[in-house]
Each structure stands twice: as structure tokens, then as C-alpha cells.
Structure 1
Amino acid sequence: MQKLFPKNGSKFPQLRFAGFADAWEQRKVSELADRYDNLRVPITASERVAGETPYYGANGIQDYVEGFTHNGEFVLVAEDGANDLQNYPVQYVDGKIWVNNHAHVLQAKEERVDNKFLTNALKHTNIEPYLVGGGRAKLNADVMMKINFKVPTLPEQVQIGKFFDNLDHLITLHQRKLEKLQELKKGYLQKMFC
């Protein structure tokens, strides 16, 4: 992933898809995405009604509930309570979701950026310098909207977003296969070595 994003002040990544040669431009998150934190609604575990809608917090899905707060393509960024500051929780979601007040909700401005590209660009950004607070680090909304990174043309963003999306799906498939094989091995071991 390092080679697909420019580094050390360069306007060009080391690795490109065929047909793209334009320089990447520096942009702030506020220029690329709108924030929909105002629609977030936290629900205590005891008040949640079980359903099919993923209920998101800082570190991903916390539960499945009835109803939704957002519907569409979004990028969720941990606000506070992130469990890994080195691999800061950023995820792409699509469809009906319920988001609590521990995750920021961004949506790419259609004419400017692709949501999947935005997800990967934010994942590739070192968020730690932007965090405030002591034991429970927090990413303030205003600070998040000022984060800068380089952005290619929209067609190249779409290509990069699809590339990483395909890799993520492949990883998930292999992860499931690995888990099934581990369970199979465990079952054989239990039967052979009672």
C-alpha cells in the first residue's frame, strides 16, 4: 500500500495503474467529504432492540439492532475509544447502519472523492498526532476535517478503491477458509487424541 500513495512530499506515487499520470493534489478532509455526526444516536445495551442493522461504535460493529441512523455509503472514523492507535479504526460501510457517538460519519462529496479511496487514504494517514486527551484519546471533529492528504483524479481514486476492496474480500474469504480448516483440525485432534 505504501507505493500506491505519494510520500516524502512527492506528488506522484511509486506505483500507478496504467493510464494515470496526473500529479496528486493536497486536500483537506473538509474539501472531500461531508460529516453526518448530527444523525448519530447512542443506545445503551439494555435499550437496544435486536434486529438486522449493524450498530457501530469506535471499533466497528458492537451489536445488531432494529432501525437505522444512516443509509448509504459512508466512512466511519473512531472519535474516541479506539483500541489500536497504530491502525486507527476507519471503515467503509454501505447500506443501513446505526452509529453511536463514538464514531465520526463521513460521506464523500460525489464529484470530488470516492468513499472507498477516502477510507484507504484515512487508514494510511497517521492519526496519532491529531488525537487529544490522555488515557482515552479523542479525534475532535474539527481537527479531523483539517487532516490533509494527497488525492488523485476521481477515476484513479475509483480504481484504487476497487483494488483494495477486492483485496479485502480476498482476505476475508481466506480468513474464513483458515478458520474452517482450524476447526476441522481441532475436531480431528479431539477424535484421535481423546
Structure 2
Amino acid sequence: MSDYTTDGKGQNTMGKKLQPKLRFRGFTDAWEQRKGAEVICVRRDNIANPPKDIVDVELENLIEGGGLQGDLSLRTASTSVFHEHDTLFGRLRPYLRKFWFANTSGVKSGEIWSLYSSALKPEFLYALTQSAQFLNQALQTAGTKMPRAEWKTIAEAYFAVPQAEEQEKIGILFQKLEQLIDAEKRKLDLLQKKKRALLRQIFEQKLRFAGYNNPWERCRLGDITEFADYGIAASAIPYDGTVRYLRITDIDDETRQVNIYELPSPDMKHRSRKEDYLRQGDLVFARTGASVGKTYLNRSDRDDIVHAGFLIRFRLKDNICPEFIYQQTLGENYRKFIAITSQRSGQPGINSSEYADWTLYLTSIEEQNQIGGLFGQLDELIAALTQKIDLLMIKKKALLQQMFV
């Protein structure tokens, strides 16, 4: 058993006893440095005529951080084989960290490695490929526009590995953690699908709360708005340690999560007006670029958020439920409106008068509140599940750092 550590490039250097920071109770032996070619193999089998029903895994099917998505039915000319319990690793753009522990056999893209080992437990190998010691080697890529991990780099690198019993415990731990993450992702997906179905049924008035049968009235967004205004640039906002700057460029269409940025500099020369700050219930629309059609409802009662210059704020009248209007903007009717209106030469854009002409439907304020409350609660559940998944991913990353050398 060697008493070595590595220099970050996978080369042997003399060092202290090689062991991770966090271990299962009862394990104290040093980990052994093994050359990649000794413990990891890449499968190079091919099948001439894959069966029609065989699983076909392409790069787009691999999920960042582990797992599968999308259609796995045969739809390519892939003939490269993988076996059950192989680790599939996306070698094209390896920084995306795409991998999957195969629970079946099938064919795959040539841009995916199918890894196996006769020296390592399969589950441990899968966890190892997610560790920094493996990814650091995979990131030593060839090519610039389409970087690919090179097998020679992996084969010549050194990896620290424990004895079989500890391998098994580590592998099982990360398998259970990933299964938990997958289960939470499935819950999130089902909840998002349920919300989309309810949006369609409720705003097409096919499904209503008991006791409501009045017809909905057609109106314009501008008819129910006190005022609309454009956002202001960050350079026009003073920074006093509390002001936050709203951008919805990268808002997530499913979770509705949005980044709110702290202003970058304390030496802003201009003062913003109190009217520039968002009030609870303000509805904000993106007006230029790829973000056209994205919306944001300010649910916060804080008054320290200023909307960016490429946004339009609508402040609704007092007898209108903001949540009801916001959720209506997520429906298909609104998406069709955006698709038509945003078609322009050059960069797409929508101005405030065009948004004000958007047609929507109103019911009584009581039913508005019922509908808004329902979708608000669903959004809270979606946000909570998203946060739980994020925390589990952070925990997994921390364990990978602590349990591998």
C-alpha cells in the first residue's frame, strides 16, 4: 500500500498518510494510489444491429449532476454499447458534469464514456467520477470550441481508493443520496405539471371553485392599471447598503425563481425617487431581448428593490388581485400574445402600450383571490421543493469533497 498524495495533476508525490477528511466509523487504513488504467476501463463494445426497443442514451439525456431525462427510445445511429451498472460520463464539455449510473443495458452516443472496473465496486466508481480528483483530470481537455475529455489523461492519472468494504459503504451512501434527490425532482416535476394543467383549466374557465358561475369579463391590462413605467439603470441608483436591483433576464420559467442583485458600487452620484422602488403587488414584465414575455410579481413587502431599465412595471388598481393577474400571464393565451407581438426586426421588444393592450379576463374579486391564493400556495410548494433539491445537491457536493482524497 502506497503512502503517497498527488500534485493536482494526477502524479505521485511523497506525502502524509492518504485518507479523506470524513470516513465511516471503523476505517482508519490509508487509501491506496492506483493508476487510472489499473482501476478504470472504458467500454468499447459495439452492436451491429441494435434492437428497435433498446435504450438509447444521448448527451442531451444526461443530466448535470447525475441522472437521465427525455426520450430514450432508439432514434440515432448509435451502436456503442453500455452495460447495467456501468457509469456513463459525458466527455464532451466535461465541465457540465453529466453522468448516470446505468440500471439497464443499451447503446449510447460516442461522446459518452461507458466506464466499468474489475477493481472497484460499481457504485464507488460512479461516485468517484463525480469527485474532484476525477473531474480535475477530465477537465484537462482537448479542443476549444468543443472541448472533450481525453482518455489518456484519465488512464495516466492516479486515484486514491480504499479497500472494498469502505468502497461499498461510500458507493451505497451516494446512491441513496442520489435516489433521494431524484425522488424530490420527480415530485417537483409532477407539481409543475399539475400547476400547468390547472392554469390551463382555470383560465379557460373549464374548472371553477364551487359557488362561482358568473361569466368572466374581457378587458385590457391598461384598464386595470394605475400606471406603468420603465425601470431605471443601476448607475442612477444610490447604494446605501440596502437597495437591491431586480433583473429577470434569467428567471426560471418553471420555478419562477429570479435573481435580485445587490448594487455594485457605493459611489452612485444620482438619487432615485421613492416611486422607483417596487411595492408589494407590482407586476413587472421584461420588454427587450430574449427575456421578452417573462414576468415577475413582487410578493415582498420590502421597499428596497428597484426594477431594471429593460423592465416595465405595472401597478394594478386596488380592486384587482395581483396574484390572479400574474398567474394569468403564465397561461397559453399570454404566450400566444407574446409570440405575435415580439416579432420584430433585430432585437425583439415590447413597449408599455403594447403590454397595456393585452387582453385578459376578470371575475369577481372574491374568485380572483381564491384563484390567486391557490396558485400562490403552489408556487410556495414549488419554491420549497426547489430549495430542498438545491440543499441536497450542496450536501452531496460537500460529501464528495470530504469523502474523497
The TM-score with structure 1 as length reference comes to 0.75
Question: Is 1:180 aligned with 2:190?
Answer: yes
- The worse-fitting range, judged by mean Cα deviation, of 173-182 and 183-192 is 183-192
Q: Distance in 1 between matches of 2:90 and 2:182?
A: 22
Give the superposition deviation at 1:98. Answer: 0.6
Give the superposition deviation at 1:145. Answer: 1.7
Q: Report the secondary structure of 1:155's partner residue.
A: helix
Work out which of the residue numbers 71, 81, 86 in structure 1 matches 2:95: 86
The equivalent of 1:95 in structure 2 is 104
Q: State how 1:20-99 maps to structure 2 within 5 Å.
A: 20-37=27-44, 39-40=45-46, 50-51=52-53, 53-58=54-59, 60=62, 63-65=72-74, 69-80=81-92, 82=93, 85-99=94-108
**C-alpha distance 130-42 of structure 1, shift in aligned 2 (>3 A):** farther
The equivalent of 1:143 in structure 2 is 153
Q: Report the secondary structure of 2:100's partner residue.
A: strand
Q: Report the AA paired with residue 64 of structure 1.
A: S
Aligned length: 178
Q: Report the secondary structure of 2:85's partner residue.
A: strand
Q: Which has the higher contact order (CA 8 A, sep 6+)?
A: 1
**C-alpha distance 185-73 of structure 1, shift in aligned 2 (>3 A):** closer
Question: Is 1:14 aligned with 2:24?
Answer: no
Higher CA-based Rg: 2
**Residues 149-180 of structure 1: CA deviation (Å, up to 9, x unaligned):** 21111110111111000111111111111222
CA contact (8 A) 1:42 1:99 kept: no
The equivalent of 1:161 in structure 2 is 171
Q: Distance in 1 between matches of 2:175 and 2:164?
A: 16
The TM-score with structure 2 as length reference comes to 0.39
- The worse-fitting range, judged by mean Cα deviation, of 155-164 and 27-36 is 27-36
Q: Report the secondary structure of 1:164's partner residue.
A: helix
Q: Report the secondary structure of 1:104's partner residue.
A: strand
The equivalent of 1:116 in structure 2 is 123
% identical equivalent positions = 22
Q: Distance in 2 between matches of 1:32 and 1:102?
A: 21
**C-alpha distance 159-87 of structure 1, shift in aligned 2 (>3 A):** farther
RMSD of aligned C-alpha atoms? 3.2
CA contact (8 A) 2:88 2:100 kept: yes
Q: Report the AA paired with residue 65 of structure 1.
A: L
Flag structure 2 segments of 5+ consecutive residues without an equivalent: 1-5, 9-14, 63-67, 204-323, 325-360, 362-405
**Residues 14-57 of structure 1: CA deviation (Å, up to 9, x unaligned):** 111122111111222211123222x14699xxxx8752x32123
The equivalent of 1:3 in structure 2 is none
Q: Report the secondary structure of 2:165's partner residue.
A: helix
CA contact (8 A) 1:11 1:24 kept: yes
Q: Distance in 1 between matches of 2:173 and 2:7?
A: 20
**C-alpha distance 78-41 of structure 1, shift in aligned 2 (>3 A):** farther
